[in-house]
Amino acid sequence: MKFIVQGGLNRPGLQGSIRVPGDKSISHRSIMFGSLAEGTSHISGFLEGEDSLNTLRAFQQMGVHIEGPLNGEVTIEGVGMHGLKRPAHALDLGNSGTSMRLLSGLLAGQQFDVKLTGDASLSKRPMKRVTDPLSMMGAKVDAADGGKPPLKINGNQALTGIHYQMPMASAQVKSCCLLAGMYATGKTCVTEPAVTRDHTERMLTAFGCDVEVTDSTVCIDGPAKLIATDIDVPADISSAAFFMVGASIAADSDITLLHVGMNPTRTGVIEILQLMGAHISLSNEKEVGGEPVADIRVQSADLKGINIPESLVPLAIDEFPVLFVAAACAQGQTVVTGAEELRVKESDRIQVMADGLQVLGVNAQATDDGMIIQGGDIGSGTVYSHDDHRIAMAFAMAGLCTSGDIHIEDCETVNTSFPGFAELVASCGLSIKVVDE
């Protein structure tokens, strides 16, 4: 599947009031914790994308009765901490690194062996970052060459709590350790070098589990127990980010994004855009199920290039593909450093975005840990997403700033995080055509 985006430079920008799909990170965790809880949990706003559906299917294969999703509604009959059953086959997690890394910790405490597999992209992603601390806790996890998937997790291992100093800022690694800590004897603590998203800590608390947070350290006492609760999944700020950038760079734009998750560990994209001069305002702010939400209004702005503070990088790590597009449309130079984590996402997002921007005539130079972009005009051409959903959607938004067409190849994976993306952005004013090849 590919996208063909008709240049929008001489047309009105993005308009309307929309709600993007539910938060992927929260959707994953709602299935995991609801399955391990005692009692029945109801989830609303669940993201019906392939990644979170793969998590849902995995727990169904381990004997959990889950109804839905139907219009974002899911009902989970929890089986308790020790109620999962050995699946008949390997658990195929598709493209979802979150599923594999979090499940590694959760399954390390089970009494059965299980194998975790994924698609070609996931099979290239580094897993030593979770298998190393799990081994320190007493887990036995076998990986393929280079510490890559598939992973075989050996059951019936006695886990012991540890204090782990994370070498990199990663919410997935932190969460993996905390989930294993629920099955360990004693206290498990994780200290992170920079702030990362805290959905795991917030949702564990919502499910009745005591989580201790002190500065950059999170601790959990094992063995733990979860009690069923209801979760309202807010709209995903990572998905909303495409519209924030699109409305900022396209003339005559005025768009409102409804009920977006405003977790302070995820709002780096807003802070970065505001530093670049974006016109972004919040309204209807409230808290739902332990997560802050708000409506976000974005209007056209003349963006300027900046040196992005490294402190904001972990708070916007998933949004950088589209932030690179914002930088390409800004006046002046934008410099990104401290973002080497982008090289081990669904694709090497630094190199893939630099290559694509260069095809479109942008002076974009990849560095080891980021990019240097000279803003200005964007041209037309054919770019490749390398089966990375965020790359595909980022280049679609670049079409708002060009007079020619942009052809984007390999867009099937958009459905992993944003089903209906093309239809929704078209309803707001982008001329986009989906071609099944």
Q: Is 318 among the catalytic positions? A: yes
What's the rounded Cα separation, in Å, for the pair 377 and 331? 9
Nearest CA among 98, 91, 82, 93 for reference residue 29: 98
Q: Cα 370–372–375 angle (5° rounding)?
A: 135
Specify whether the CB–CB gap between 175 and 200 falls below 8 A. yes
* Chain-centroid distance, C-alpha 35: 21
Instruction: Given the residues 318, 387, 388, 410, select the one marked as catalytic.
Output: 318
Single-letter code of the amino acid located at 326: A
User: Do the strands 114-117 and 151-154 form a parallel or antiparallel pair, or are they unpaired?
Assistant: antiparallel
Which residues 6+ apart lie within 8 Å of 57 measured at CB? none
Specify whether the CB–CB gap between 35 and 203 falls below 8 A. no
DSSP 244-292: HHHHHHSTT-EEEEEEEE--TTTTHHHHHHHHTT-EEEEEEEEEETTEE
What's the rounded Cα separation, in Å, for the pair 153 and 90? 11
Specify whether the CB–CB gap between 19 and 237 falls below 8 A. no
Specify whether the CB–CB gap between 387 and 414 falls below 8 A. no
Catalytic residues: 318
